[in-house]
């Protein structure tokens, strides 16, 4: 039995995908209307999925947290007593702006006796909900998760295990920042060559930042890092990419849409400055997301950097 907390796009997609092999309860603060989540229109939640807005009645031994990073700390803080002691699977891809914590760090603080894992990697909610083949990373720092790997895998949802929780989470958080930069490049009309350069140099930044935080470089080159970067930085299905595109084109973007990379860029830029880690692309995205620079200024700033070895 699996509980999923958060009836947005990803929580709903996982509920649909896992309901073929598991009893699934989907908790959300807004119940689906006509069997559909307002965050994933066009996907009908099967009748076997129990949908509820009563949190206490929703909890089973294994709980998937499908909430955005910036609300996760408040949520687990408020419900820590009910969630602690269970297996908690994070799906958020970001860094908490207030504390600088990873999603699993936020959960560990509120639930010290929980077994905590993170599910991450290249996967648009709509692909998972439609049963299209997907490969993801399931990471946990120091506990056996083979049982969980099997419980959350399906014939079309293939989970790889990793003990590099830090690397898996940082890859997922940082790729959103680079995806915004890639969207800016196309939105501003800089061309696909510029986007390829940003993706490549962005990947170098991701690896630099993550390894300085104890991650293994090969994790960054895996599904949770490079794999998700390739998906997110090249697809108009990505909200981070579309947000960047709007920024680059000088167009408005709906503030109700979840864009993890905007606040994460600010967190990354602040942490990197404090630790002396060069992150020029994340710095530029952070400035643009706060309206503190123009696209033209940011591009000039990146191009003016001293020439160096690759
Ligand atoms: N969508 C995707 O393709 C994928 C997303 N992810 C990651 O999963 C995480 C969740 O994303 P996603 O599902 O897409 O986001 P959505 O914006 O689609 O959904 C967010 C959900 O969180 C709920 N929510 C927001 N604030 C609160 C709160 N304070 N208390 C309770 N519920 C709250 C929203 O409710 P309401 O609708 O009422 O605001 C909504 O149900 C993100 O970190 C994302 O990066 C990972 C892989 C793929
Ligand atoms: O993380 C995702 C795909 O793996 C979803 O990306 P967006 O949040 O940019 O839509």
Residue 147, domain CATH: 3.40.50.720
- Assess whether 157 and 182 both reside in one domain: no
Q: Is the CB of 238 under 6 A from ligand 1?
A: no
pLDDT of 299 reads 87
pLDDT of 176 reads 98
Q: Is the CB of 93 under 6 A from ligand 2?
A: yes
Instruction: State the Cα–Cα distance between residues 286 and 159, nearest whole angstrom.
Output: 32
Residue 218: inside a domain, yes or no?
yes
- Assess whether 142 and 232 both reside in one domain: no
Residue 208: inside a domain, yes or no?
yes
- Assess whether 213 and 65 both reside in one domain: no
Contact status, residue 124 vs residue 231, Cβ threshold 8 Å:
yes
SS (H, E, C) the chain: CEEEECCCHHHHHHHHHHCCCCCEEEECCCCCECCECCCCCCCCCCCCCEEECCHHHHCCCEEEECCCHHHHHHHHHHHHHHHCCCEEEECCCCCCCCCCCCHHHHHHHHCCCCEEEEEECCCCHHHHHCCCCEEEEEECCCCCCHHHHHHHCECCEEEEEECCHHHHHHHHHHHHHHHHHHHHHHHCCCCHHHHHHHHHHHHHHHHHHHHHCCCCHHHHCCHHHHHHHHHHCCCCCCHHHHHHHHHHHCCCCCCCCCCHHHHHHHHHHHHHHHHCCCCHHHHHHHHHHCCCCCHHHHHHHHHCCCCCCC
In this predicted model, what pLDDT tens digit does every residue of 228-255 receive, in sequence order?
999 999 999 999 999 999 999 999 999 9
- Assess whether 60 and 208 both reside in one domain: no
Contact status, residue 271 vs residue 260, Cβ threshold 8 Å:
no
Q: Give Cβ neighbours of residue 291 (< 8 Å, ≥ 6 apart).
A: none
Residue 310: inside a domain, yes or no?
no
Distance of CA 97 to the CA centre of its chain: 14
Instruction: State the Cα–Cα distance between residues 174 and 164, nearest whole angstrom.
Output: 15
pLDDT of 143 reads 86
What b/e readout covers 28-40, taking b as 16+ CB neighbours within 10 angstroms? beeebeeeebebb
Task: Choose the residue to mutate in 127, 169, 176, 178 for probing ligand 2, maximizing ligand atoms within 8 Å of C-beta.
Answer: 176
Residue 309: inside a domain, yes or no?
no
Domain boundary among 163, 195, 227: 163
Residue 168: inside a domain, yes or no?
no
Instruction: State the Cα–Cα distance between residues 93 and 174, nearest whole angstrom.
Output: 8
Residue 215: inside a domain, yes or no?
yes
- Assess whether 298 and 211 both reside in one domain: yes
- Residue whose structure tokens are 């307002």: 38
- Assess whether 156 and 177 both reside in one domain: no
Domain boundary among 102, 128, 163: 163
- Assess whether 185 and 94 both reside in one domain: no
Q: Catalytic residues, which ones? A: 175
In this predicted model, what pLDDT tens digit does every residue of 64-75 receive, in sequence order?
999 999 999 999
The values of phi and psi at residue 139, to 5°, are -115, 140
pTM over 0.80: yes
Which residues, given as ranges, of the chain have pLDDT below 70?
Answer: none
The values of phi and psi at residue 272, to 5°, are -65, -40
**Cα 23 to ligand 1 centre (Å):** 21
146 among the known binding-site residues?
no
11 among the known binding-site residues?
yes
Tokens linked to 100: 């600088």
**Cα 306 to ligand 2 centre (Å):** 33
244 among the known binding-site residues?
no
pLDDT of 274 reads 98
- Assess whether 93 and 226 both reside in one domain: no
Task: Choose the residue to mutate in 233, 238, 264 for probing ligand 2, maximizing ligand atoms within 8 Å of C-beta.
Answer: 238
Instruction: State the Cα–Cα distance between residues 6 and 29, nearest whole angstrom.
Output: 8
Q: Is the CB of 11 under 6 A from ligand 1?
A: yes
Instruction: State the Cα–Cα distance between residues 136 and 254, nearest whole angstrom.
Output: 29
In this predicted model, what pLDDT tens digit does every residue of 153-196 receive, in sequence order?
999 999 999 999 999 999 999 999 999 999 999 999 999 999 99
- Assess whether 93 and 182 both reside in one domain: no
Q: Which residue range is the domain that position 23 belongs to?
A: 2-163
- Assess whether 159 and 211 both reside in one domain: no
161 among the known binding-site residues?
no
Q: Give Cβ neighbours of residue 274 (< 8 Å, ≥ 6 apart).
A: none
- Assess whether 158 and 21 both reside in one domain: yes
pLDDT of 40 reads 97
- Assess whether 62 and 156 both reside in one domain: yes
pLDDT of 266 reads 98
């Amino acid at each position: 039995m699996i509980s999923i907390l958060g009836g947005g796009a990803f929580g709903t997609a996982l509920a649909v995908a896992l309901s073929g092999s598991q009893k699934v309860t989907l908790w959300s603060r807004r119940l689906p209307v006509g069997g559909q989540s307002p965050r994933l229109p066009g996907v009908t939640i099967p009748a076997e999925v129990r949908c509820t807005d009563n949190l206490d009645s929703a909890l089973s031994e294994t709980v998937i947290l499908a909430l955005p990073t910036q609300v996760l700390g408040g949520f687990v803080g408020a419900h820590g007593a009910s969630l602690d002691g269970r297996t908690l699977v994070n799906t958020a891809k970001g860094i908490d702006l207030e504390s600088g914590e990873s999603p699993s760090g936020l959960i560990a603080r509120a639930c010290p006796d929980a077994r905590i894992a993170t599910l991450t990697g290249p996967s648009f909610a709509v692909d998972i909900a439609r049963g299209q083949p997907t490969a993801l990373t399931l990471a946990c720092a120091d506990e056996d998760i083979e049982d969980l790997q099997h419980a959350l895998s399906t014939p079309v949802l293939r989970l790889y295990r990793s003990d590099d929780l830090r690397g898996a989470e940082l890859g997922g958080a940082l790729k959103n920042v680079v995806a915004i930069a890639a969207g800016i490049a196309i939105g501003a009309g800089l061309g696909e060559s510029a986007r390829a350069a940003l993706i490549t140099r962005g990947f170098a930044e991701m690896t630099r930042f993550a390894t300085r935080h104890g991650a293994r470089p090969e994790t960054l080159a895996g599904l949770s890092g490079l794999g998700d970067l390739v998906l997110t930085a090249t697809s108009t299905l990505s909200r981070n990419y579309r947000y960047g595109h709007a920024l680059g084109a000088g167009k408005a973007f709906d503030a109700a849409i979840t864009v993890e990379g905007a606040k994460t860029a600010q967190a990354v830029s602040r942490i990197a400055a404090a630790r002396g880690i060069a992150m020029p692309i994340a710095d530029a995205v952070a400035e643009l997301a706060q309206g503190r620079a123009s696209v033209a200024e940011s591009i000039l700033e990146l191009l003016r950097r001293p020439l160096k070895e690759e």
